[in-house]
Chains A and B, each alone.
Chain A
Amino acid sequence: MDQLSRRDLLKRALQGGLGLAALSTLQLTAMSKALAAQSTPVSGYKALVCVFLFGGNDSANMLVPLAGDSLTAYVQARQSLAVTGALPISPLTAVADGIGFHPALAPLQPLFATQQLALISGVGALQQPTSKLEVQQGKALLPKNLYSHNDQQATWMRGQEPLSLDRGWGAQMLELLQTNPEFSSCISLSGTNLWQRGQLLQPFGMSAKGVSGLTAHNGAGSRATLLKNLQTALLAPQTQPLANLYAQSNSAAQARSLIIADALTQAPTLQTVFAPDNNLAQQLQMVARLISVQATLGVGRQVFFVGMGGFDTHDDQNTVHPALLSQLSAALASFAAATSELGVADQVTTFTMSDFGRTLSSNGDGTDHGWAGNQLVLGGAVQGGDIYGQLLQQRLGSDFDVGGGRMIPTTANVQLFASLASWFGLSDSQRRQIFPALSAFDASVLPLFR
């Protein structure tokens, strides 16, 4: 067996997260024959990159009204947290009183102007269209545990309310498009996460610094071979479920890491600069490198998960939040440049998710857990330069304010997800399958893409 076909076999053996150690040589041989007839190619290449802003981004404050009544209401709501010096933007759909970016989003201004960046406004978790009256009367069917960090993170990643089998829509898209998606189609730079958990898929979790190898296996001597072989036996399937989980994840880690490390040796050196002290930028740099070797990995579709924390700005928001937005926008700008450098800008779409929006009202020097917010969608295929959905009005006591400036979403997050999924290649029925709440909303896809 030559090197290439062995790698190919490894990859196939690992489809579905199965550990290499779980397979004997005989089984490997059998699998290679069986799998030959099982590939389900998708046409072309597309990648969806989820940027998760942990803690609940005060995303309303990314878009600031510039004048008139809107500005007055904004300042009234935001008090000392009102942003000054907003950078005016000119969305294709005009906004009364004008609108601008938070100054810390300066690196995104050119991407908006060149129509590679779109915003979705007033978007949040919903089970059905909901009015303030219904919420106040307790009659609204609401997502469970609104305002709770981990529950709402899960709601965004799941694309629906909890089921007994808990899966995310990132991995489910892959599993709907292909019978046995490659493990390398589902890569996380920011830890284990529900968005990339499928029926069989588990995200390949690596660090921005790269892939780890086992030092015990270094060297070409007989000792390394001995350790390698015996370790495979050691991590064989176990009868106890937790021991089996350990064995499976550790043996898979070993084999999967070898494949990714091998592929990354083919990655071209990127000219685009990613700030070394910007962790999100470093994660996105690794995503760009991984995208650059997608042909080597043999994946037609990929979902990547990157993230940054710190958005739970109950405190000291005027210092903390601009710094976070600066890192976010710098990282996104570098990534957009890198996809252009690699010639894949049209094939890569990047979008943000976050636990929830935050209260429009202040707690003195910060904000508390809210509901609707704004999200970013970025890429060459995006019909950018516009704000989609109904602009989130930053006005306390409005028809959308259920108290303290916790705003009812006017666009359901599943509508955003469906639009992304449609671009990724999912049919209408596939989208309805993973986003069941879509049936309660205007089913036509948000026209985010060209």
Chain B
Amino acid sequence: MSMQINSARKHRRSRSWWPLLLVLTACGGEAAPIAASPVTANQPPVVSAGADIQTIAKAKIQLNGSAIDAGVLQYRWSQQSGPVVSISNSTLAGAEFTAPELFRSTIFSFQLEVTDAAGLSARDTVQVTIKPLPMTASEAARLLQQASFGPTAADITQASNISAEQWIAQQLALPITTHADKLQNPPGQDRPAPISRLEAWWRIALTAPDQLRQRLAFAWSEIMVVSDQGNGLNNQPVGLANYYDLLLRYGSGTNSSYRQLLEQVTLSPVMGVYLSHLGNEKPDVTRNIRPDENYAREVMQLFTIGLVQLEPDGKPRLDNNGQTIPSYDQSIIEGFAHVFTGWTSAGTVRFDRPRPDYINPMIAFADFHATGEKKLLNNTVLPAGQSAQQDLTQALDNLAGHANVGPFISKQLIQRLVTSNPTPAYVGRVSAVFADNGQGQRGDLTAVVTAILLDEEARSADSLQNSSFGKLREPLLKTSHLWRLLQSAAPSGRVFTFNLADSHAQAPLQSPSVFNFFRPDYAPTTDLQQLALVAPEQQIVTDSNALNLQNHLYNQTYQSIFEAVTTPGQYQMLGRFKPYADLLRQQGLTALLDHYALLLLAGDMPLQLRQILTELAAGLSNQSAEQQAAALLYFILISPQYAVQR
């Protein structure tokens, strides 16, 4: 119950005015107190909407109103805030409604207005706080597909006792497991090698508790792309890992902000090398030398706003001729190119002799910074004569403040985590949170990620009815899931993946260009184009890559059974099949398939797939339980049902 202007409690009345008798109202059963004969002039009723209520989603909720007055009273319940619900018996003192399915704690408020026979009325409100339900095992598995490197039985058990909202909040509050300090030298070497960085990535994906923050860093690594391929960066595994840690630290967690992430990325020496603004100099007009435009162009096209102006729901804005409108032109690229001059490696004494530092943020040299005016977005012009840091701060404010950022970044994060083809409404809801987290803050990434994962489109069972919901799983995420399920490990204890480019067609921070392994708008077939659907992850699926990944999955299941391989290679990852084989031996095929269904398909194994797996098990009945469990797992991993994370 809450205080409210005009509420009954504001009308102090003496006990002597209380009603003398009770009558039944005509409309059925509800007893209401009325005054038989007022002593003085009529007063409005004394109304109570009842005590505030705490409840859970889908519960039936009783609103227990009451009023004190003489004569016939009219009750009217109405909703003041919260998602609209349907109130039954809204003209009775005791009304009720069913709490909707919801995925985050939500306060609803309801007002009871009571009018007496003389037309005087009073009101009171009650607050109903509705909490989301704890997740079922299937719901937990579904969330973990989107927000981790693959659900395990233990993860699902842990998440099943709490709501998605609670799980996400817990995860985002966890400290990060950093990568750069985990790089181990390969045997016989005295420093980390490129393989060491991948090893740390795998170890952390497989075992770190901060799964959501790690999954987010992986998503950011495919948006704010650096790569050690085709440049000197493959000799800098610590620098690369440090860049990944930066994505981890600033791209998620409490107090993370997009603006800060953008600045850290911009000043990263690894990014400075990758997109060549490290060492970028002011113009030299006499020699026709201009600033390097590389970072200026790609930071706009790929990390912040994209090529065309967007509506808040991510759809392109169109001009009067139905044409898209460019977000920037060459003159703005040149403006930003001038902003990004004068920066080089930390610790450098002479600009023209940079001292390599792949860890610390770049530093500025005033003499090499362009000091003229700089044309930026939204008709902003930076004045001449500012320092490199002033220009950078204001230019990044200009970029991060552009209206495109919310929809541009929100949609890509949705695509990396939840679905390739979000509805514009979903993008719009998330980009609204990007614009304002509810406390007037823009770019609060904790709020953005929470909004993405708790959106009804990500969580509700309804979206599973939509045949185009979901996304193709990335090859790396298939293997991470598999190895988490099997607690795979090599005899040496090392996790060495020597040829991810061949087996997975992708590897962390190894994309062929700043355009990532795949583009968010990739739609390869006429079928998809006619349905206006995209399938970004399909861009790396050539015929050879498709078969190579199937072979890798076969190798990592059927050919790498810990309980069966007698002379493994020291780096051969072996999967523990005993728990699955035990289930098969002790409880039978149905129990194992149910378990696999939960772990791999969030509980949804279509009959068609179940029949194929049953036939497979029957055909392999002469094999060991471990081999059967491995073959069944392999089949699920290569099935079209598993291919799409829904």
**A interface vs B, CB < 8 Å?**
54-55, 76-77, 79, 144-145, 147-151, 164-166, 188, 191-192, 197, 199-200, 202-207, 211-216, 222-223, 226-227, 230-231, 233-236, 238-247, 249-250, 252-254, 256-257, 309-310, 312, 314-315, 359, 361-364, 366, 368-369, 396, 403-404
Contacts and interface: CB of A to CB of B under 8 A. Distances in A.
Contact of A238 (B292, B324, B554, B640): B640
Given A243-B644, A249-B546, A77 B330 contact: no
A254 B539 CA distance: 18
B513 A368 contact: no
Given A55-B513, A241-B467, A368-B290, A246 B526 contact: no
Contact of A246 (B290, B420, B640): B640
Given A206-B542, A234-B638, A245-B535, 6 more contacts: A79-B289, A148-B307, A192-B539, A215-B554, A240-B470, A240-B644
A442 to B, nearest CB: 28
B353 interface: no
B542 A188 contact: yes
A249 to B, nearest CB: 6
B530 A211 contact: no
Contact of B550 (A55, A245, A250, A252): A250
Nearest to A254: B547
Contact of B289 (A147, A233, A364): A364
B547 A396 contact: no
Given A234-B639, A315-B276, A214 B472 contact: no
A256 B547 CA distance: 11
Contact of A147 (B330, B502, B554): B330
Closest 9 pairs (CB-CB, A-B): A205-B542, A253-B543, A246-B643, A212-B547, A315-B276, A243-B640, A253-B546, A314-B294, A363-B292
Contacts of A404: 290
Given A253-B543, A315-B294, A242 B548 contact: no
A368 B543 CA distance: 35
Nearest to B627: A223
Interface in B91-128: none
A242 B643 contact: yes
A163 B551 CA distance: 37
Contacts of A230: 612, 615-616, 619, 635
Contact of A215 (B297, B515, B551): B551
A15 to B, nearest CB: 15
Given A214-B550, A246-B640, A145 B619 contact: no
A242 B544 contact: no
A234 B513 contact: no
B330 A145 contact: no
A309 B543 contact: no
A242 B644 contact: yes
A256 B545 CA distance: 13
A309 B230 CA distance: 8
B467 A212 contact: no
Contacts of A312: 294, 513
Given A165-B529, A216-B550, A239-B467, A192 B472 contact: no
Contact of B558 (A145, A216, A250, A359): A216
B467 A240 contact: yes
Interface string B262-292: 0000000000000110011100100111111
A234 B525 CA distance: 21
A246 B544 contact: no
A241 B420 CA distance: 12
Of B293, B539, B559, which is in contact with the most chain A CB atoms at under 10 Å from its CB?
B293
13 contacts: A79-B288, A145-B307, A150-B515, A192-B539, A206-B542, A216-B558, A226-B619, A227-B616, A227-B631, A239-B467, A240-B470, A252-B543, A366-B292
B555 A215 contact: yes
Interface in B454-503: 467-468, 470-472, 502
Given A241-B527, A363-B280, A234 B609 contact: yes
A234 B642 CA distance: 11
B547 A368 contact: no
B537 to A, nearest CB: 9
Contacts of B533: 241-242
Contacts of B547: 212-214, 253-254, 257
B274 to A, nearest CB: 9
Interface in B601-646: 608-609, 612, 615-616, 619-620, 631, 634-635, 638-641, 643-644
Contact of B292 (A77, A240, A314): A314
B578 interface: no
Contacts of B512: 54, 309
B640 to A, nearest CB: 4
B472 A191 contact: no
B620 A226 contact: yes
A249 B544 CA distance: 11
Nearest to B552: A215
Given A234-B612, A363-B291, A364-B280, A242 B635 contact: no
Contacts of B291: 363
Contacts of B616: 226-227, 230
B584 interface: no
Given A197-B524, A216-B550, A242-B644, A166 B289 contact: no
A149 B638 contact: no
Contacts of A243: 640-641, 643-644
A231 B288 CA distance: 62
A76 B288 CA distance: 8
B538 interface: yes
Contact of B544 (A239, A240, A257): A257
B161 interface: no
A164 to B, nearest CB: 7
A246 B513 contact: no
A226 B275 CA distance: 51
A433 to B, nearest CB: 17
A166 B529 contact: yes
A223 B542 contact: no
Contacts of B529: 164-166
Contacts of A206: 542-544
Contacts of B554: 214-216
A253 B538 CA distance: 13
A215 B553 CA distance: 10
A415 to B, nearest CB: 25
Given A151-B307, A230-B616, A247-B640, A368 B526 contact: no
Contacts of B641: 243
Nearest to A248: B525
Nearest to B636: A234
Nearest to A78: B288
A137 B307 CA distance: 21
Given A241-B527, A241-B528, A315-B292, A231 B638 contact: yes
A314 B230 contact: no
Nearest to B515: A150
Given A206-B543, A216-B558, A235-B640, A242 B420 contact: yes
B290 A211 contact: no
Contacts of B333: 147
B55 interface: no
B382 to A, nearest CB: 20
A76 B286 CA distance: 10
- Among B539, B543, B609, B634, max chain A CB count under 10 A is at B543
Nearest to A54: B513
B357 to A, nearest CB: 17
Interface in B501-531: 502, 512-513, 515, 519, 523-531
A309 B513 contact: yes
Contacts of A207: 502, 542, 544
Contacts of B546: 249-250, 253
A363 to B, nearest CB: 4
Most buried by B among A205, A239, A396: A205
B133 to A, nearest CB: 27
A158 to B, nearest CB: 13
